[in-house]
Structures are given as structure tokens and as C-alpha cells.
Amino acid sequence: MNKILVCISGASGANLGIKLYNLIPKKYKKYLIVSKNAKTVLQKEENIFLNDDISAPPASGSFGIDITFIVPTSMNTLAKIACGISDNLITRAASVAIKEQKKLILAPRELPFSQIALENMLKLSKIPNVFIAPPVIAYYNNPKNIGDMELFLIGKWFDLAGIENNLFKRWGENE
Ligand SMILES: Cc1cc2nc3c(=O)[nH]c(=O)nc-3n(C[C@H](O)[C@H](O)[C@H](O)COP(=O)(O)O)c2cc1C
């Protein structure tokens, strides 16, 4: 069974990470890491690790996570990943994904992006299997509400990860 890790860092939109986690199909084994700044009501759920638990399984490449999402990615977490800093479980899991060349999907959330953040994104985008996929909404799928917009984003992140989904209406698809 493929293993998927979802990380929620302290940018605006932590609910997107939670929705993404909940929408992962049952055939995958899923795990969640929440940073202190993003921690809300999640701790009771299964397979949730605390970000300061640096000895939790996702800290090791041998645990075999196949896909890592960091949704949303704060500029702080982005910068650490770009520099190879692994000072908590999320940044360590990102380093593991990069060294093992597994898929790492980052959703940086800030507006506007600073030059530093843009340079960090460019640097990371050059690494195999790292995807810079900010939560940028579309209009062609005629979203009726924020829920539709979020499903579009999660569907796009699943597409990058290779997770089959029908979460949004694709361009050219019949009404
Ligand atoms: C209400 C609130 C909203 C925030 N939104 C963002 C954001 O959208 N993007 C961002 O990069 N940081 C944002 N921050 C700042 C981060 O939480 C802060 O940089 C923190 O150190 C990130 O820690 P982490 O990367 O370990 O989660 C926000 C902070 C607060 C309190």
C-alpha cells in the first residue's frame, strides 16, 4: 500500500491541508504532521504526528513515504526546506522526500511573494519530483463557492501526486 504524508505548516489555509488529508482515497495509508502554528483540533485522529517529534517514523527514509504534501507551506518552512534545514518533523520529512527523490508537493501561501520566497521556490522546483503548486484558484471550472475552489486545488495537487480523482471539472469536459 502506498504511503502518503500530509504536512500542515503555519500559513493561512490550514483547512485546505485537512480537507486534502480527508479526501485521500482509502487505498492509501495516510499520515499527518501539523506544525505548532497550524495545530487545531487534530490530535485525536489516527496517524497524526507532532512536528517536534523528530523521531517519528516519517523522519527516516526507511519508513518509505511515497508522496509528501505540505499544504499549506509557510514561507518559513519553504525557506528551511530550500536550505536543507531539518529542524522539525515537517522539514525533516521534506529533506527525506528530496534525498529519496520521492514526490514532494509544496503549496506556498503568501501574497505577494518576496524575492527571497520566489528564489527559494525556483531553487526547489529544479529538484526532481519537487512541485511548487501554490493555492491559485481557477475560474474556467465555474466555481460556485469556496468549497468548489478548494476541491479544484486539491484535485490539482492529487493530479501532481498521481492520485486519481474527480474532484473538479476538467477543461473541455462536458457539462
Ligand atoms: C493568522 C496567521 C496567518 C499567517 N499566514 C501566513 C501565510 O499565509 N503565509 C506564511 O508564510 N506565513 C503565515 N503566517 C506566519 C507563520 O505562521 C510563521 O512564519 C511561522 O513561523 C511558521 O511556522 P511553521 O513554518 O513552522 O509552520 C501566519 C501567521 C498567522 C498567525
How many structural domains is the chain composed of? 1
Distance 171 CA to ligand 1 centre (A): 33
For ligand 1, say whether the CB of 109 is within 6 Å of any of its atoms: yes
Residue 46 lies in a domain: yes
Asked if residue 164 is part of any domain, the answer here is: no
pLDDT band at 12 (very low <50, low <70, confident <90, very high): confident
Report if residue 167 sits inside a domain: no
Give the tens place of pLDDT for each residue, 39-93: 654 554 556 888 999 999 999 999 999 999 999 999 999 999 999 999 999 999 9
Tell me, using a 6 A CB cutoff, whether residue 79 lines ligand 1. no
b/e 81-120 (16+ beta carbons within 10 angstroms → b): bbeeebebbbbbbbbbbbebebbbbbbbbeeebeeebeeb
CATH no. for residue 43? 3.40.50.1950
Q: Is residue 161 part of a domain?
A: no
Q: Which helix (H) or strand (E) holds 150?
A: helix 146-161
Cα(76) to centroid of ligand 1, in Å?
Answer: 7
Judge whether 9 lies within some domain.
Answer: yes
**39: which 3 cell numbers?**
495545530
169 part of a folded domain: no
Domain residues for the domain of 42 are 3-138
Domain assignment present for residue 42? The answer is yes
Q: Encode pLDDT of 85-117 as tens digits.
A: 999 999 999 999 999 999 999 999 999 999 999
Q: Is 39 a pocket residue for ligand 1 (Cβ < 6 Å)?
A: no
